[in-house]
Copies of this chain bind each other. A is one copy, B any other.
Amino acid sequence: MLGVEFPICAFSHCRDVVAAVTNAGGLGVLGAVAHTPQRLETELTWIEEQTGGKPYGVDLLLPPKYVGADSGGIDGKQARELLPEKHRRFVDDLLTRYGIPVSSDEEQQPVADLNISPKGYEPLLDVVFSHRIRLIASALGSPPAELVTRAHAGDVLVAALAGTTHHARQHAAAGVDLIVAQGTEAGGHTGQVATMVLVPEVVDAMAPVPVLAAGGIARGRQIAAALALGAEGVWCGSVWLTTEEAETLPVVKDKFLAAGSSDTVRSRSLTGKPARMLRTAWTDEWERPDSPDPLGMPLQSALIGDPQRRINRAAAHADANARDLATYFVGQVVGSMNKVQPTASVVLEMVSEFIDTIGRLDDLVER
């Protein structure tokens, strides 16, 4: 269906990872929600040059609920004008308490908008559909009818991530070709039901729509487990964040390499919707009883965009407080991400361990 050798989809914001997974026999999927159309054009052209006709995909966020949904969406400037004084003060105070330097004038350009509304994502779709992608995925929300029609007209498959069977049913009704059933252990936006429970439930409810498993999958044993649960393949994101190719901030990459599986938390502090990330001083600050509730999407990312950039810049300069604060999306598999290696090696180790696992299971039954 996907035209790949191994049923491994790799979500990454980094084009090098996308190309490397596709070249290794899987399907690289570029997370493009914060790209400008110009940058996306450049990235997709580069990926196609690197992968020579092999299949790859693109991923967007298409949430049904967000601030400004009634009017077709708001841009970053409008979002920043809507930020409550209380939230601005909370973040300013947080940065002051941790002694994070202010940005220079030059750095104070607006950070990238999240293109979650039609106004934002339609220009991206024009770029996407002018390229020969194999898959377009929605990591949040069911894809709109126009997107599905346009994709199918170009022989592009449509996938959507679901954290509940209810969401999977909505995606199927919207006409998707593939459901990605994502358990709570996943990095990024995620629900509360674990992969072990969610996958067979979605597989049974959605048959014959094929299901990929996501959440908690970083190695071959977990791929075998996902296929045992009834998935046709897997969707992995976190495991690529510590590859050689990943553009993960070095301080965050170091924290990922050192972290254990208990060191993540589901937090609304980066995007306004619950997303799993490394637990750090940043997430702790947002959990304090006197902290404000995070804002809705896209206001929260507008609120924390510049502060996050300040934190990451200071952390890169070895500022101890900034390093305490620095965080990023990652799943519970961070506990098994203990060394930096090439993306292609990760894929090949996954496949090798998967095959060994199937052999081990088969021996069990024959014994």
Residues of A within 8 A of B (CB): 164-165, 183-185, 191-198, 200-201, 215-217, 219, 221-222, 224-230, 260-262, 331-333, 335-336, 355, 357-359, 361-362, 364-365
Chain B residues near A362 (CB, 8 Å)?
358, 361-362
In the complex, the answer to whether B358 meets A361 with C-beta atoms within 8 Å is yes
Contacts of A364 in B (CB 8 A): 227, 358
Task: Determine which of B191, B196, B262 lies in contact with A192 in the assembled complex, contact meaning CB atoms within 8 Å.
Answer: B262
In the complex, the count of this chain's copies comes to: 2
Q: A358-B361, A358-B364, A362-B358 are contacts. A261–B201 as well, Cβ < 8 Å?
A: yes
Question: Chain B nearest CB: distance from A166 CB in Å?
Answer: 8
- Among residues of B, the one whose C-beta sits closest to the C-beta of A230 is B221
Residue of B nearest to A219 (CB): B200
Chain B contacts for A222, CB-based, 8 A: 196, 200, 228-229
When C-beta atoms are compared, the residue in chain B nearest to A186 turns out to be B194
Residues of chain B within 8 A of A227, CB atoms compared: 361, 364
A-B contact pairs, 17 of them (CB 8 A): A164-B260, A164-B261, A183-B194, A185-B193, A185-B194, A193-B262, A194-B195, A194-B196, A197-B336, A221-B229, A224-B225, A224-B228, A225-B225, A228-B228, A228-B361, A358-B362, A359-B365
Enumerate the 5 nearest inter-chain pairs by beta-carbon distance, A residue then B residue, closest first: A196-B216, A225-B225, A185-B194, A224-B228, A225-B228
Task: Give A357 to B191 CA distance when docked, in angstroms.
Answer: 27
> Is there an interface contact between A200 and B221, defined as CB atoms closer than 8 Å?
yes
Chain A interface main SS type: helix
Residues on B with beta carbons closer than 8 Å to the beta carbon of A184: 184, 194
Contacts A194-B196, A361-B228 given; does A262 touch B164 at CB 8 Å = yes
Q: Which residues of B contact A217 (CB under 8 A)?
A: 196
Which residue of chain B is the closest to A7 with respect to CB atoms?
B364
In the complex, chain B residues whose CB is within 8 Å of the CB of A331? 197
Residues of chain B lying within 8 A (CB to CB) of residue A196: 183, 185, 194-196, 215-217, 222, 225
> Inside 8 A of A355's CB, which chain B residues have their CB?
365
Q: Are B225 and A226 in contact (CB under 8 A)?
A: yes
Q: Which residues of B contact A333 (CB under 8 A)?
A: 197
A197-B332, A222-B229, A361-B362 known; 17 other A-B pairs, CB under 8 Å?
A164-B260, A165-B260, A165-B261, A194-B194, A194-B196, A196-B222, A200-B221, A201-B335, A201-B336, A221-B229, A224-B225, A227-B364, A228-B357, A228-B361, A358-B362, A361-B361, A362-B362
